[in-house]
Structure 1
Amino acid sequence: MTIRVVVADDQELVRSGLVMILEAQQDIEVVAEAEDGVAAVDAVRRHSPDVALLDVRMPGADGIEACRTISALSTCRTVMLTTFDTDEYVFEALQAGASGFLLKDVRRDDLVHAVRVAARGDSLLAPSVARRLVEEFTQRAARPRAALDCGRLDALTARERETLLLLGHGLSNAEIAARLVVSEHTVKTHVGNVLSKLGLRDRVQAVICAYETGLIAAGHPPHGGAGLAASPVPARN
């Protein structure tokens, strides 16, 4: 199956380089290029791509605004590209519906891999990275923590709620399976149910949901207090 991609970057040389790398792959086709966020959204509407690579800083509508619109109007997966690696940009991109976040100095093989991962519906950030970003954001936020949103989480079974809790702490499927003493296949089923019932696109949004509903308080350690090793990219559902 050919992966259809839209590439958006306001720097022509950068955009051309990205297109060249992707077009060299037999399973990837760049269906459109865009120089700003408005053009990127229009290209997604016209071509219905599988993945959109979006630069964060672009004139007019920036990449994050484009990502938000694309996520609302289509099933296209978005991967953000930037030379800036601040937590604020990453969190805003994830909030907007991005499936991943890459710096422009990423290796070409990793860029191609990221597109393939996004196209099959997986996340591009290790759960531990997403957890760190959400913790730092909530610690900086001036607003008080929201109470547990039981109305939203009541759709989950007890085991699914526990799975969401462990997702929020950054555990991989294998780590969750070990904690719950079940198979990885069972964990994958639980994760899928959590995403479906809560209307989430991927496990990165599940991490954010675990914090925003108050299921996890920022900085609260996982059960047992053990440290978590960073999971490799990608983090699969």
Structure 2
Amino acid sequence: MLFSRKKTEMPTRETALAGRSVPLRTADEHFIFGRPLKGPYPDGLETAMFGLGCFWGAERKFWQLGAGIWVTAVGYAGGFTPNATYEEVCTGRTGHNEVVLVVFDPKVISYDALLKTFWENHNPTQGMRQGNDVGTQYRSGIYVFSDAQRKTAEASKASFQERLSSAGFGRITTEILPAPEFFFAEDYHQQYLAKVPHGYCGLGGTGVTCAAPTGVDAA
């Protein structure tokens, strides 16, 4: 129980692992799309970032949207440890969340559509866990790159809360914060479930549908 409790309590900057100055080695290209994982990305594209549990299954939900998705990538964000490894993140001593970076074309797919995918594919009421996956790295989070994204995310959260409450679920614990620095995860994590189709995916939604995308521009 003590170990489990430590994994669900955020460390402080002083107690977090030190990390390293050198970035982790990761893939150069998206395994499915064949595009540069780290860019440069074409002009006119936008970026979104989400945490919704184990990032293997979470990333798949976004690349499967298809049209309008340029690249997806998994990594660590929201903590204190620079260039943390997967093993370090799993200790709960980095403060990082497992997140998905989504680079998309807003002329083809809206930010609202990404939020719909986010809300419907996990349970955002569980705090520092997602199903059987327990730890700070599994918390629900929306990390915004603009004030417009923040406003759209907040409105979406309020709307989905009404639907969840009507279905008997508790309060949403999702954090909505300015996008922190994103650290690319190790090579083998990128597009993992395309490389290992029958690999582990612990994601499970609530069965509650999110409101249809409004088409609001969140540039």
Q: Give the TM interval when normalised to the shorter protein.
A: under 0.3
Higher relative contact order (CA 8 A, sep 6+): 2
Greater share of helix: 1
TM-score (norm: length of structure 1): 0.26
TM-score (norm: length of structure 2): 0.27
Greater radius of gyration (CA): 1
